[in-house]
Structure 1
Amino acid sequence: MNGFSQLEGLRGHPSVVRVIGHRGARGVMPENTLEGFAFTLAAGVRALEFDVVMTADGVPVVTHNHHLANAMTRDGQGHWLTGAERQVAEMTYAEIRALDVGGLDGRTVYGRRFPDQAFLTGIHVPRLGELLDLCAGYGDQAPYLLLELKSDPALMHDHAARAEMVAAVLADVRRYRMEPRTVMHSFDWALLGECRRQAPDLPTSYLSQLPENADDPGEDSAKPVGPDYDRMTESLPQAVASAGGQLWCPYFLDVTPELVAEAHDLGLIVLTWTVNEPEDIRRMATTGVDGIVTDYPGRTQRILIDMGLSWT
């Protein structure tokens, strides 16, 4: 279980809690953009978490939702998109690239969640290959990547389409020789099985969020593609280990020191998401987690320093 070199950059130590930039640094930079990722890496963060969705013409792109959120998308004339939000799977990459995702509409619920996010212009949704190329450019200092595959609920029973998605993503990872830094990461535990089948050299990371915890506003829910928690007869760490995973990535409200200790006893790395408030960052750091996925990597770095901890 622990024979993957990719894990060493994500494993914590008694004085080390890893900092993972969520969608880059969503709290201060446009999310899932090359500009946001470059900013995060410049701040000394050595791990990134991001989302991959497939376009109509089979291009893996880095964006969170299966639809382009109007709250963060402008047309070529700078006007916010309105009406029904467009599905990524129904658009070609050329159509998506023509849109601007460099800012948030502060009048929307989603925009008000991140009032400190920079507002940029002329920023496009990147191809996965563009992000991998950026990261590969760091050579021996390339960041570790939690590459989240976003399962389309409409395709849960289309095994061919799901296998094609995994194959397209892996082709990009191998093209840019980022295997030594990449972890396959998903709420869709069955899809991670397909990842292991196609890429046994890459570790798998199992995201979880218990049903009682509400989804964040303006974001696709992962609950339709996740496991049936009500049918589980073992703890979440045990379920991840039984499924063949190397990392367990629970929602921060589901984390307890006891579960973290159990996961470690099973040989799992524990990275918790998405931890933004100072009191929550401090609490997670005391539970023994290996790392914290956060929209505010700079804030998290400063809190860890205050606690006598490091992230490298």
Structure 2
Amino acid sequence: MLKRISIFMIFITFMSCDMKKPLVIGHRGAMGHETENTLASVQKALDLGVDMIEIDVFKIESGEIVVFHDETVDRLANSGGKIEDYNIFDLKQLTLDGGHRIPTLQDVLKLIDNKVALNIELKGANTSDRVNFIMDYYIREKGWSPENFIISSFNWDELKEMRKINKEVAIAVLTEDDPKDAIPIAKELNAQAINPYFKKLTAKNVSAIKEAGFKIYTWTVNKPQDIMAMKRLDVDGIITNFPERVK
């Protein structure tokens, strides 16, 4: 019996060592622990030692880029309405679950301070120009490394706009369909990665994506057994609400 257990443990150890470690990417910060897309959530992700943090952004009525996921504030805030219809003064009056505020993109950049990479998902329309302006400022004036920015979106037209104004920034194509179908647009955009829904990944389409030259940052993987399955598929990064589970 002891011999069987020893052989099993050696096998598990070998398998663990053989698998490449994917990047640990905190989803909306570390939203399994703190209210999503808040400074507290971003700080928690940093505390947990992530390699990258993913956030979502909208451009609001007064022109600022703010960090929020939903089209309306109803789910998380003590008020309602479309986030894009808010001006910055009224937005600052909102209180989110847990007593948090909605941060601007600059608030998040100040907190991260170039310590880890930042995946900025363009949720709203007409975000690319202002996001690019802010990134450029932080690279030129605040010492941010260009490689610490990656832009993603389900809105592929918005990604096309970003590529028009910035030929160098890393782009990741988000998709919840068969990720092989994103390969043509990824090539058109000269993207770095395709970010697929983890349940759509198979050994076959992972191979096709990698053969096409793209990294795979998959979302949103929270259960230990799913995390292990993604590691076995040799994905390049795992976006998760619980970064400590990937590590």
Tell me if TM exceeds 0.5. Answer: yes
Equivalent residues of 1:237, 1:259 under 8 A apart: no
1:200 counterpart residue number:
167
Q: Which of residues 63, 68, 84 in structure 1 aligns to 2:68?
A: 63
Counterpart CA distance in 2 for 1:239 and 1:168 is 23
1:146 to 101, 112, 119: 119
Please give the per-residue CA displacement for 1:164-209, whole angstroms capped at 9, x wherever unaligned.
x312111111222233310111111121111111111201110001
1:156-167 pair list within 5 angstroms: 162=126, 165-167=127-129
2:153, 2:172 within 8 Å by CA — same for their partners in 1?
yes
In the alignment, structure 1 residue 30 sits paired with structure 2 residue 1: no
* Aligned equivalent of 1:282, options 208, 224, 228: 228
Deviations 1:50-85 (A, max 9, x none): 100011101000000121033x212xxxxxx4xxx3
Q: Which residue of 1 aligns with 2:101?
A: 124
Structure 1 runs (4+) greater than 2 angstroms displaced: 234-244
Q: Which has the higher helix share?
A: 2
Residue of structure 2 in register with 1:187 after alignment: 154
Match of 1:168 among 122, 127, 130: 130
1:93 aligns with 2:88: yes
Correspondence 1:248-259 to 2 at 5 A: 248-259=194-205
Which amino acid counterpart does residue 206 of structure 1 have in structure 2?
V
Q: Distance in 1 between matches of 2:92 and 2:181?
A: 43
1:41 maps to 2:46: yes
The CA deviation at 1:39 is: 1.1
Taking a change above 3 Å as real, the CA distance of residues 235 and 55 of structure 1, as seen in their structure-2 partners, is closer
Quote how far apart the aligned CAs of 1:266 are: 1.3
Counterpart secondary structure, 1:148: strand
The Cα shift of 1:15 comes to 2.4
One-letter amino acid matched to 1:207: L
Distance 2:199 2:226 in 1: 9
Separation of aligned partners in 2, 1:257 and 1:25: 28
- Partners of 1:262 and 1:15 lie apart in 2 by 18
Q: Does 1:295 align with 2:212?
A: no
Q: Distance in 1 between matches of 2:232 and 2:19?
A: 10
Aligned residue pairs: how many? 225
Q: Indicate the SS of the match to 1:249.
A: strand
Could you say what secondary structure the match of 1:172 adopts? helix
2:9 counterpart residue number? none
Relative to 1, partners in 2 of residues 1:240 and 1:201: Cα closer, same or farther, differing over 3 Å? closer
Which amino acid letter does the alignment assign opposite residue 128 of structure 1?
Answer: L
Structure 2, unaligned runs of 5 or more: 1-17
1:285-304 residue CA offsets vs partner (Å, 9 max, x unmatched): 11111111001111222xxx
Aligned counterparts of 2:184 and 2:229: Cα–Cα separation in 1: 23
Indicate the SS of the match to 2:20. coil
Letter in 1 for 2:116: P
CA RMSD of aligned residues (A): 1.9
TM-score by length of 2: 0.85
Greater relative contact order, per chain length (Cα 8 Å cut-off, separation 6+): 1
Q: Do the aligned residues in 2 keep the contact of 1:252 with 1:284 (CA within 8 Å)?
A: yes
Given the two structures, how large is their TM-score scaled by the length of structure 1? 0.68
The percentage of aligned residue pairs carrying the same residue is 28
**How far apart are residue 237 of structure 1 and its match?**
3.1
SS of equivalent residue, structure 1 residue 57: coil
Residue segments in structure 1 that go unaligned for 5+ positions in a row: 1-12, 75-80, 104-119, 153-161, 212-228, 302-312
**1:98 partner letter:** Q
